[in-house]
Amino acid sequence: MEITKEIALQRWQKLIADKKRVEKDMDEWLASRMSKKVVTA
């Protein structure tokens, strides 16, 4: 498949959007794990 500039841009945008979304979710997940540790400690 020919990779046009438009397809390349769409792919990079998806990568970056996923990166930001997942990192935010992981930070929240980690914070909830840490808070559970404090409660159970």
- Contact positions toward another protein, by CB under 8 A? 1, 3-5, 7-9, 11-16, 18-19, 22-23, 25-27, 29-31, 33-34, 37
- Whole-angstrom Cα distance, residue 17 to residue 4? 20
Least Å distance, CB 39 to another protein, is: 14
Give me the DSSP letters along 4-28: -HHHHHHHHHHHHHHHHHHHHHHHH
- Whole-angstrom Cα distance, residue 1 to residue 8? 12
Least Å distance, CB 2 to another protein, is: 8
Least Å distance, CB 1 to another protein, is: 8
